[in-house]
Chains A and B, each alone.
Chain A
Amino acid sequence: MSTNKGFWRRAVLWTAVGTLGWLGTARADVVADQAAAILVFPKIEVDTTDSVTNPNKPKIDTVVQITNTSPFLTRARCYYVNANGKCSNAGATDSVNTAPVICRTTDDCNPGTIRGGVCVPGWEERDFQLTLTKRQPLSWNASTGLSGNDVPLTNGRTSKDGQSNDPTNVPSVQEDPFIGELKCVQVDTATEEPIDRNDLKGEATITTVLPLGGVDVRKYNAVGIQSTGFQDGDPTTLTLGGPDAEYNACPNVIILDHYFDSLDLSGNEGVESHNDGAGNPLVTGRVATDLVVVPCSEDFLTQDPKYGSAVLQFLIYNEFEQRFSSSTRVDCFKQIQLSDINTRPGPSDNASSIFSQAVQGTLTGQTRIRPVSGVDRAHRVLVMAEERWEARPVANGIPVYTTARNVQNIQPTVPTDAPLPDIIQLSPLVQ
């Protein structure tokens, strides 16, 4: 009898586990290793401008790759988000310098003896359509886009099934230099409305090349947000997570394994070394990590740059299991060196940062990033990390070699863990 009871208990238990697990799968995670309905490229960078004073000024461009993994014709609506700042004193001059229009930091606006300029954050989107035939990969340079005869299957060229890329017309990014993100949403080929399929995957390769020789490259996978299989009938409002989720929720906790910053420290602390091949720890180099953060909620309809703004709480563990914490705020796009999260921008205070190797005493750490939920939306974010490693010896002017990688996350597996959704408001399609 007790055995019988045990059997039924186990049966019910397994059913509950299986069902919850299955539901959990249906409402799973953002992914960097599977196809999805929404692709997010957190960082697109372009700077192909010349410099009159520096003939070896690096040229930077991003190659975007997007692939249709399905055996069907697929379409996407994509949005470049230009996060360039603009100098409030653009055009101001002293005897030598001129304040530029585009800036990353306030220092950029005050070259030489120019003072008083402020770098005002920007947020501007440019959208386009992309049609991909069966299992077709496409790629383009962000600085030039993909249009006209460069589109593989257009101008009368079709696949063996008669499919074409029309009306694909990928514009260049809005400005040069440019920094920002790219989001693409899979839509129905007939109605142009979001569709509950997960067919898109993507990669971005950011290349830096020096005119006098030298190259650096980093590559990351686009972050995919998968459809839950449910569409609420409102084609311009995409709901990520929450009780009526059309798409999976963004992560509630993001985990970043990283080296503590040592790149701009003055002492000998924190030098990573590896073997020179003969057993000597002669290959050394300092390292710094940059976070690139983009919000999951965005309003392409009213162009509100603060729609997805989020407060991020950081919990940092070093290799002694010592714990530290900090916080910061992100509006529409943020690239920040770890050491600048809790100190002033720039290298002056970095040795005192809790992300500094000088403070932590160990070379690596684990940082858990928790977006604080708002009253209206979840205000979650997506993150990628870039490491900058000192090149030794400086290889033909390349001072640092960089890597980019997707950051891991912990995710609710049941909908009730994400009571509030993130929202992406699409702009209506102009026919």
Chain B
Amino acid sequence: MGFALGKRRLAGFGAVLATALLLGTADRAPAADPNFNSGVTVDQPGAILIFPKVVFSKGRDTLIQLSNTMNVTAQARCFYIDARLQFPDQPPGPFNPRAWSETDFTLFLTRQQPTHWVASFGRPVDPSDGLGNQNSGIDPGGIPPVTAGFEGELRCVVVDAGENPIPANWLKGEATIRSLDGDVSNYNAIAIRAGERAGETGNTLILDEVGKDTGGQYNSCPDTLLFNFVKYDSPDPVIQQNGLCVGDNCPIETSLTLVPCRADFENQIGGQVTVHFDITDEFETTLSEVTTVQCWYDTDLNRIGSGGAPTQNSFVTLASPTGLARITPADGQGGVLGIAEETHIDSDNNQARAAFNLQHEGSRATSLPFENFDRIVLSAPF
């Protein structure tokens, strides 16, 4: 009996040693080593969904799709973050801050149930919706509309019936931004997957996990976002090649939306991250820019690093038609997530937009001390 217990202890000690070696390897990994990716994904369901760009402004509205991918009912707490500028016609700055006010609601989805709503209308609970109408289907709970001028993000977190966060990677989502003329642009919601220990710290969600399902709470945010872009305002190569770009007036204009991973909904504190852009063009020339992401960042590329005014920055003066920007938060700071959106304009000023998800590598959790890990603090349920 004593011998058997000893063997078990020995086995246990070996196992712990093996774990320590594995974790130790992870700790020593370079922050940007793609083999130690954060685990955040746009390809799979997750426990936290982030829609970085939701707008109901400037003639555009957002259609949200959200699905429960599991064979059990799912409940989620969702937070709209209204980040409109105090003076929407002026560039952001210290005297024109973003609002960062949140509105939350709870979603209930039956097994495998998809649902959708239009941000400007929300989705009221109405059993008389009938068939084939905008809100037909099992109502997922009351979803409030956003108000005119809304720009910001939406986050949803899977919770149990007591509204406690749980390790359940059940949700996936998409957003489609639609213009008055019907032009559409869509992207996949970014999923942060839960690890075994999700919910251990209640409403404080710690983004500490490196890779998928490695025993932490939630995936850490990426160390670096990889953003391939077309030189700002350069002619669309397809329009140009077909001889339809009159006077080289068929520009591609790209905007970038970034959100800090950390957010404190209890104390109404948005994240703030200084990010560096390391840019490589097709001639391998390197350039750089820097800016601060305060709560929610959405700007055309020609305004990055200039305080909001158009400028001749590296995204404009690039020597080649395309470039790669590596977006990395400053040392010791938390991560960011984001999407980009291209606007293609023909010589008659017709426009079409296309949003796309950014790629990423590395994990912030490999370069930050535990106390600086990104955290999402949910407001305490009443």
Q: Does A403 lie within 8 Å of B354, measured CB to CB? A: yes
Contact flags (1/0) for B332-376 with A, using CB distance below 8 Å?
Answer: 000000000010111110111111111111000000000000000
**B43: interface (CB < 8 Å):** yes
**B211: interface (CB < 8 Å):** yes
Q: Which of A81-122 contact B (CB under 8 A)?
A: none
**A135: interface (CB < 8 Å):** yes
Q: Does A15 lie within 8 Å of B187, measured CB to CB? A: no
Question: Which B residues touch A317, using CB under 8 A?
Answer: 112-114
Q: Which of B9, B136, B361 contacts A363 (CB 8 A)?
A: B136
Q: Does B214 lie within 8 Å of A25, measured CB to CB? A: yes
**B1: interface (CB < 8 Å):** no
Question: Which B residues touch A30, using CB under 8 A?
Answer: 43
Q: Which of A12, A159, A201, A401 contacts B11 (CB 8 A)?
A: A12
**A174: interface (CB < 8 Å):** no
**B41: interface (CB < 8 Å):** yes
Which of B18, B172, B181 counts the most chain A CB atoms within 10 A?
B181
Chain B at the A interface: mostly helix, strand, loop or mixed? mixed
**B12: interface (CB < 8 Å):** yes
Q: Does A209 lie within 8 Å of B346, measured CB to CB? A: yes
Q: Does A33 lie within 8 Å of B42, measured CB to CB? A: yes
Task: Report the tally of A-B residue pairs with Cβ distances under 8 A.
Answer: 335
Q: Which of B149-194 contact A (CB under 8 A)?
A: 172-174, 176, 178, 180-188
Contact flags (1/0) for B230-262 with A, using CB distance below 8 Å?
Answer: 000000111101101000000000000000000
Q: Does B282 lie within 8 Å of A215, measured CB to CB? A: no
Q: Which of B112, B176, B211 contacts A25 (CB 8 A)?
A: B211
**A177: interface (CB < 8 Å):** no
**A19: interface (CB < 8 Å):** yes
Binds B, one of A275-283, A329-337, A372-380: A275-283
Q: Does B350 lie within 8 Å of A364, measured CB to CB? A: no
Question: Which A residues touch B138, using CB under 8 A?
Answer: 319-321
**A270: interface (CB < 8 Å):** yes
Q: Which of B195, B324, B361 contacts A137 (CB 8 A)?
A: B324
Q: Does A17 lie within 8 Å of B215, measured CB to CB? A: yes
Q: Does B114 lie within 8 Å of A257, measured CB to CB? A: yes
Question: Which A residues touch B220, using CB under 8 A?
Answer: none
Q: Which of A189-241 contact B (CB under 8 A)?
A: 198, 201, 203, 205, 207, 209, 211, 213-221
Q: Which of B12, B178, B355, B358 contacts A389 (CB 8 A)?
A: B178
Q: Does B239 lie within 8 Å of A215, measured CB to CB? A: yes
Residue of A nearest to B281 (CB): A137
Question: Which A residues touch B63, using CB under 8 A?
Answer: 272, 274
Q: Does A406 lie within 8 Å of B342, measured CB to CB? A: no
**B321: interface (CB < 8 Å):** yes
Q: A128 vs B169: C-alpha distance in the bound complex, in angstroms? A: 41
Question: Which B residues touch A8, using CB under 8 A?
Answer: 8-9, 12
Question: Which A residues touch B345, using CB under 8 A?
Answer: 215
**B4: interface (CB < 8 Å):** no
Q: Does A157 lie within 8 Å of B136, measured CB to CB? A: no
Given A19-B18, A25-B211, A409-B44, verify A69-B361 contact (CB < 8 Å): yes
Given A32-B357, A273-B134, A362-B136, verify A19-B111 contact (CB < 8 Å): no
Contact flags (1/0) for A157-194 with B, using CB distance below 8 Å?
Answer: 10111010000000000000000000000000000000
Q: Which of A248-270 contact B (CB under 8 A)?
A: 255, 257, 269-270
Question: Which B residues touch A19, using CB under 8 A?
Answer: 18-19, 22
Q: Does B350 lie within 8 Å of A215, measured CB to CB? A: yes
**B137: interface (CB < 8 Å):** yes
Q: Does B180 lie within 8 Å of A277, measured CB to CB? A: yes
Residue of A nearest to B187 (CB): A405
Given A205-B342, A321-B111, A366-B114, verify A398-B238 contact (CB < 8 Å): no
Q: A279 vs B61: C-alpha distance in the bound complex, in angstroms? A: 11
Q: Does A395 lie within 8 Å of B182, measured CB to CB? A: yes
**B322: interface (CB < 8 Å):** yes
Q: Does A364 lie within 8 Å of B114, measured CB to CB? A: yes
Q: Which of B65-94 contact A (CB under 8 A)?
A: 65-67, 69
**A72: interface (CB < 8 Å):** no
Q: Does B134 lie within 8 Å of A272, measured CB to CB? A: yes
Question: Which A residues touch B19, using CB under 8 A?
Answer: 11, 14-15, 18-19
Binds A, one of B115-123, B295-303, B307-315: B115-123
**A136: interface (CB < 8 Å):** yes
**A347: interface (CB < 8 Å):** no
A385 → B minimal CB distance (Å): 10
Residue of A nearest to B14 (CB): A15
Given A22-B22, A410-B69, verify A11-B12 contact (CB < 8 Å): yes
Which of A69, A161, A201, A411 counts the most chain B CB atoms within 10 A?
A69
**A29: interface (CB < 8 Å):** yes
B34 → A minimal CB distance (Å): 6
Q: Does A321 lie within 8 Å of B110, measured CB to CB? A: yes
Q: Does A25 lie within 8 Å of B212, measured CB to CB? A: yes
Question: Which B residues touch A362, using CB under 8 A?
Answer: 131-132, 136-137
Q: Which of A11, A198, A216, A283 contacts B352 (CB 8 A)?
A: A216
**B37: interface (CB < 8 Å):** yes
Q: Does B280 lie within 8 Å of A136, measured CB to CB? A: yes
Given A67-B226, A257-B65, verify A393-B350 contact (CB < 8 Å): no
Which of A160, A163, A363 counts the most chain B CB atoms within 10 A?
A363
Question: Which B residues touch A271, using CB under 8 A?
Answer: 134
Which of B66, B114, B173, B324 counts the most chain A CB atoms within 10 A?
B114
Question: Which B residues touch A215, using CB under 8 A?
Answer: 236, 239, 344-346, 350-352
Question: Which A residues touch B173, using CB under 8 A?
Answer: 257
B51 → A minimal CB distance (Å): 13
Q: Does B284 lie within 8 Å of A15, measured CB to CB? A: no
A90 → B minimal CB distance (Å): 26
**A28: interface (CB < 8 Å):** yes
**B271: interface (CB < 8 Å):** no
* Inter-chain pairs besides A274-B121, A364-B65, 19 sampled, C-beta below 8 Å: A8-B8, A16-B15, A19-B22, A33-B359, A61-B242, A137-B324, A138-B322, A153-B283, A161-B284, A201-B228, A209-B239, A215-B351, A217-B353, A221-B357, A271-B134, A366-B112, A387-B176, A395-B183, A396-B350
A and B contact pairs by CB, cutoff 8 A, 14 listed:
A34-B360, A144-B241, A198-B34, A198-B35, A205-B354, A209-B239, A217-B352, A272-B118, A279-B148, A285-B182, A319-B137, A363-B133, A408-B44, A408-B45
Name A's B-contacting residues (CB within 8 A).
Answer: 8, 11-12, 14-22, 24-25, 28-35, 48, 59, 61, 63, 65, 67, 69, 133-139, 141, 143-144, 152-153, 157, 159-161, 163, 198, 201, 203, 205, 207, 209, 211, 213-221, 255, 257, 269-277, 279, 281, 283, 285, 317-321, 323, 357-358, 361-366, 368, 387, 389-393, 395-396, 398, 401-406, 408-411, 413
The 6 closest A-B pairs by CB, nearest first: A319-B137, A361-B131, A275-B120, A15-B15, A269-B132, A213-B348
